[in-house]
A = this chain, B = another copy of it.
Amino acid sequence: MSHLFYGFRERVKRMGSVGISLVEAFDEEALLALAEAESEGFALPFLMGDPDKIERAIESSGARLQNPVIVEAQGPLESARAGTRLVREGTCRILMKGKIGTGSLMKAVLDREEGLRTGRILSHVACLEVPGYDRFIFVTDGGVVLRPDLPKKAEIVSNAIDVARLMGVETPRVAVLAPSEVPNPDSEASVHAVELARMSREGRFPGAFVEGPMALDAAVSPEAASIKGMTGQVPGRADVLVAPDVVSGNSIAKSMQYFARAVMGGVIVGAAAPVVVISRADTAQVKLNSIAMARALI
């Protein structure tokens, strides 16, 4: 059913294992996903947190971890710090959220002294395999930046281009979404789209096409793009959809999951290492795909 992600994970398996630092590791769902990634051969689990709680969670979850390294840390703050340190020092290459608030985890990631800052913006990139589509569709940012201004949106676009390329899209075609194709000075989404398209023409996003404004139909449907008389590299065949803000990005990706039965993976990029933040409502497959994405991005 999920051919694209299946093929992708086969490729990730051949990349070999890297350490993944799971913060507050007594999260049964995260442990199960990590055990699966370990058994598929692309993850070595490092578990931060209270060892007793971790042992109990492993037992009650039934996660079959082969070689887990348990790193004692008491409380979310210490656990997040320990996980971040393992990544900074190179023992681990991926940071993953366990039973800790996303905010607390990101605070450790963004710490100016001991975090994983790179100077780039952090943003979420979702990758969706939609039944009937023969390519991945990426949606950004549905997870981190509430309402990006233009410079932030340009960085969000760059992050997404990187992810799409590392997942096999040679020349990512990026659609900046807006309510319509006609530039509208009253719509921030539209204004940003005009500017991002201009930046693209001026070489800001090498090896990619960034165009807009366009509505979602013109971005992904060749018929709609044709009826609307659109030209360019992106209309009708966008790989990446850039949402104007986090709630629209989140809603578009979830609409694809819940209405179109799309299979998803997602990762936060822009820090010194990929960060995997999975939601309680995500399926096991989403969690595994997300870890695989993080592995491919290293």
Contacts and interface: CB of A to CB of B under 8 A. Distances in A.
A241 to B, nearest CB: 8
Interface stretch (A11-19, A30-38, A256-264): A256-264
Interface string A136-178: 0100001100110000000000000000000000000000011
A147 B244 CA distance: 12
Contacts of A228: 280-281
A218 B262 contact: no
Q: Which of A189, A220, A252, A255 has the most CB of B within 10 A?
A: A255
A85 to B, nearest CB: 28
Given A146-B186, A146-B187, A259-B130, A178 B247 contact: yes
Interface string A230-273: 00000000000101111110111011111111100000000000
Q: Which of A146, A223, A251, A258 has the most CB of B within 10 A?
A: A251
Interface of A: 130, 132-133, 137, 142-143, 146-147, 177-179, 184, 186-189, 215-218, 220-221, 223-224, 227-228, 241, 243-248, 250-252, 254-262, 279-281
Given A132-B259, A216-B258, A218-B281, 18 more contacts: A130-B259, A146-B179, A146-B184, A146-B186, A177-B251, A179-B246, A187-B247, A189-B247, A215-B251, A215-B254, A227-B281, A243-B248, A248-B248, A248-B251, A255-B259, A256-B260, A259-B259, A260-B260
